Amino acid sequence: MFRTFSCSRRSLLKKTFSVLTAVAILPLLPRRAFASEGKKALIVFYSWSGNTRALAGLIRQHLNADMTEVLPVTPYPSGYNDCVALAQKEKNENVFPALRPLSLDVSDYDVILVGSPNWWGTWAGPMRTFLRDNDFKGKTVLPFATHGGGGWQRMTADIASLCPGARIGEGLSVYGSDAARSSAQVERWLRRAELI
């Protein structure tokens, strides 16, 4: 009886010791998650009707990153048809709309997650300006987008030419009305990118 008790007590002590050792050592082990490598991430997005903002918010829930919204000096019309018409005109005439000053500086970050609605097959005007006017050389850029059925269309090709010298990672494109419920998709994407 005594033997049995002492044996099980020893094994209990052993188990407790192993658990305590694991708890003590775990934080010291090298982690693949980039946050522990001292890298800084920034989420920058433009959203006209809220879908891309919702997606950016989900990304922020999973990732320790700063976040900022790009705003044009002149807001786009609130009516859908007027907005579509202006966006088409700007795209055809290669207009880069002026932006309000950003509160954060891209040069302070290693990884920049850039989000936009798909407008006429490419990045919305304000994000085209943001991508053109900032230097992403040597940085990792992860695109994310919402769309109305077209998917990426020319967005992936266009971001490569707007951000010369950047490492463009795998992007995430979500159907606009699914954006607010794509948390699991966002998490899988961030894991594949080894950001979490």
Ligand X SMILES: Cc1cc2nc3c(=O)[nH]c(=O)nc-3n(C[C@H](O)[C@H](O)[C@H](O)COP(=O)(O)O)c2cc1C
The answer to whether 118 contacts ligand X (rule: CB under 6 A) is: yes
Pick between residue 34 and residue 123 the one whose CB is nearest to ligand X.
Answer: 123
Tell the smallest beta-carbon distance from residue 89 to ligand X (Å): 10
The answer to whether 147 contacts ligand X (rule: CB under 6 A) is: yes
Tell the smallest beta-carbon distance from residue 153 to ligand X (Å): 6
Question: Residue 184: which H helix or E strand, with range?
Answer: helix 183-192
The answer to whether 149 contacts ligand X (rule: CB under 6 A) is: yes
Q: Are 39 and 111 in contact (CB under 8 A)?
A: yes
Residue tagged 């055809």 (tokens):
92
Cα 131 to chain center, whole Å?
15
Q: Which of 79, 102, 111 is nearest to 196 (CA)?
A: 111
Residue 72 sits at the vertex; the CA angle it makes with 195 and 130, to the nearest 5 degrees, is 40
Interface residue with ligand X among 143, 176, 189, 190 (CB under 6 A) is 176
The answer to whether 49 contacts ligand X (rule: CB under 6 A) is: yes
The answer to whether 125 contacts ligand X (rule: CB under 6 A) is: no
Cα separation, 120 vs 155, in Å, equals 10
The answer to whether 52 contacts ligand X (rule: CB under 6 A) is: yes
Residues at the site binding ligand X, with contacts judged by CB under 6 A: 47-53, 83-84, 87, 117-121, 146-150, 176
